[in-house]
């Protein structure tokens, strides 16, 4: 019974990821695209967690953690770029 629920949830997240991909491609503005990319990262984490449950293994837990960290860093970088126009600020001393 749990396998059926997990497979239905995987299907739902796959459909959601496809809709978010359309939002990334056609988004009316750049902030909408950034939010869609962040949501796609969350969907990828959820799909990985569900696959880990379906396969009854703990091997993917490190992958989930890494995806979460990378998704957060990517969102912060995009936000900073949209706000200031640069990602890394540095001063040159001569």
Integer CA distances (angstroms), 63 to 47, 51, 54, 57, in order:
11, 12, 16, 12
Token couple for 79: 């936000």
Q: What's the pLDDT score for residue 83?
A: 80
pLDDT tens-digit profile, the chain (94 residues): 899 999 999 999 999 999 999 999 998 888 888 889 899 999 999 999 999 999 999 989 999 999 999 989 988 888 888 887 776 777 777 6
**Residue 94 confidence (pLDDT):** 61
pTM above 0.75, yes or no: yes
Report the distance separating Cα 63 and Cα 35, nearest Å.
22
Q: How confident is the model at residue 81, as a pLDDT?
A: 82
* Lookup result for tokens 């995987």: 10
């Amino acid at each position: 019974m749990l396998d059926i629920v997990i497979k239905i949830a995987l299907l739902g997240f796959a459909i959601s990821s496809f809709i978010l991909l359309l939002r990334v491609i056609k988004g009316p503005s750049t902030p909408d695209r950034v939010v869609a990319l962040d949501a796609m990262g969350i969907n990828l984490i959820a799909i990985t967690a569900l696959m880990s449950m379906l396969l009854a293994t703990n091997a993917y837990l490190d992958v989930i953690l890494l995806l979460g960290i990378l998704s957060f860093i990517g969102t912060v970088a995009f936000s900073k770029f949209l706000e200031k126009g640069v990602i890394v600020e540095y001063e040159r001393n001569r």
